[in-house]
Amino acid sequence: MNKLLYKYRLSALLSAMLLSANIQTVRANQAFSYSFDPVPQKLAQYARNTATVYLNQGLQLVQTGRVEDAIVAFNQAIQLEPSLAPAHYNLGLAFRQLGQLQPAADAFYQATQVDPKFALAYANLGGALLEGNNIIQAENYLQRALEIDAKLGVAHYNLGLLYQQKEDCNQAVKSFKKAIKYSNKAPEPAYQIGLCYLRQRQLKKAKNAFQEAVQINPRYPEAHYNIGSILYSQGKHKQALEAFRKSADANPNYPSAYYGAGLAFMQLKQYPDAIGVLQYARDLFLAQNNSQWAINAEQLMQQAQNFTYQIPR
């Protein structure tokens, strides 16, 4: 696999997150039947059944958050049965969850070699390559996934992310709409459509897309935040404030929600409230090592304090 991968930086794009709602864990088929029982075939069946045990053990470990232990189990399954495609695939998912893109891509690639019709493996291989900024090979594998399964939502979604990275929002929106068609319970495609329209300054369409995302997942902080940002830019400060509040409710550790609320409070001349949320935003930005935005929040807080002193008593 190393020959197929360029060396790429591991600082992955935040937007290139895979569709968790559609990246499925895969269990091995445990039903095996034989018309005769020669000793070598019995041994092969035993090895495969044992590999299946390790595979299912790995899946259970992932569900309990023990991802590194799951990787050990998936590798044990592969050692016993190298042709067990689901073991390679789930190994890739486990590495991806830990942010280890190269091992994840290697594992997805091995899954495609064992099973050349494994569309999900191609889709996730393309996603890993895209996140590593290897756009050309990512597109090839994503197109291969769709050749195998034209209704695979995660492949359409990752292809949309690829077009976004190429700054082709029109093609990106087309891919995201197909992702919605085939993965209608996932909010991410609608959210990404909103980002595309936002870049094009089509605010009405962007807002509608973000609202579609929160209809699917009411606790989607980034979508609520972007709705608030659009309302704020339109001078609808009370409505914007409500959207920022929903964003903070969805994720209390999302500093941008408090920063946006601070801006809205300042426009509403509610300066003490602005100071409170901006201070909270500043502290969260600092805790998350985002020093520049912490400085921005601090400066805005100082402005709010200055306005407070100017209010006649």
Per DSSP, the residues of 243-304 read HHHHHHHH-TT-HHHHHHHHHHHHHTT-HHHHHHHHHHHHHHHHHTT-HHHHHHHHHHHHHH
pLDDT tier for residue 311 given thresholds of 50, 70 and 90 = low
The pair of three-digit structure tokens given for residue 297, joined into one six-digit string: 């929040």
CB 209 within 8 A of CB 224: no
- pLDDT at residue 313 in the model: 53
Residue spans of alpha helices (H) in 98-168: 101-114, 119-131, 135-148, 153-165
Contacts of 5 (CB under 8 A, 6+ apart): 102, 105, 106, 129, 132, 134, 137
Q: What is the pLDDT of residues 157-187, one digit of tens each?
A: 999 999 999 999 999 999 999 999 999 999 9
Q: Say if 117 falls within a structural domain.
A: no
Q: Say if 69 falls within a structural domain.
A: yes
Q: Say if 54 falls within a structural domain.
A: yes
Mean pLDDT of 186-191: 96
pLDDT at 87 over 70: yes
Q: What is the pLDDT of residues 39-76, one digit of tens each?
A: 444 444 545 678 899 999 999 999 999 999 999 999 99
Q: Say if 11 falls within a structural domain.
A: no
Q: What are phi and psi of 300, to 5 degrees?
A: -65, -35
pLDDT at 134 over 70: yes
Coil, strand or helix at 4: coil
Residue 220 CA, distance from chain mean position: 12
Q: Say if 91 falls within a structural domain.
A: yes
Q: Which residues of 80-102 are buried (b: 16+ CB within 10 A; e: fewer)?
A: bbeebbbbbbbbbbbbbbeebbb
Instruction: Give percent of the chain with pLDDT exceeding 90.
Output: 81
Q: Which residues of 167-203 are buried (b: 16+ CB within 10 A; e: fewer)?
A: eebeebbbbbebbbebbeebbbbbbbbbbbbbeeeee
- pLDDT at residue 9 in the model: 23
Give the C-alpha distances (Å, rounded to integers) separating 39 from 43, 52, 83, 214, 242: 6, 20, 20, 58, 70
Q: Which residues of 241-250 are buried (b: 16+ CB within 10 A; e: fewer)?
A: bbbbbbbbeb
Coil, strand or helix at 88: helix
- Look at residues 311, 199, 305 and name the one whose alpha carbon lies nearest to residue 262: 305
Exposed, middle or buried by CB within 10 Å (0-12, 13-18, 19+), for 312?
exposed
Residue 25 CA, distance from chain mean position: 16
Q: How many domains does the chain have?
A: 1
pLDDT tier for residue 2 given thresholds of 50, 70 and 90 = very low
Q: Say if 75 falls within a structural domain.
A: yes
Give the C-alpha distances (Å, rounded to integers) separating 235 from 70, 155, 230, 238, 288: 51, 38, 9, 9, 30
Q: Say if 241 falls within a structural domain.
A: no
Mean pLDDT of 207-219: 97
The domain of 108 spans 45-112
Q: For position 88, which CATH number holds?
A: 1.25.40.10
Q: Say if 184 falls within a structural domain.
A: no
pTM for this prediction? 0.80
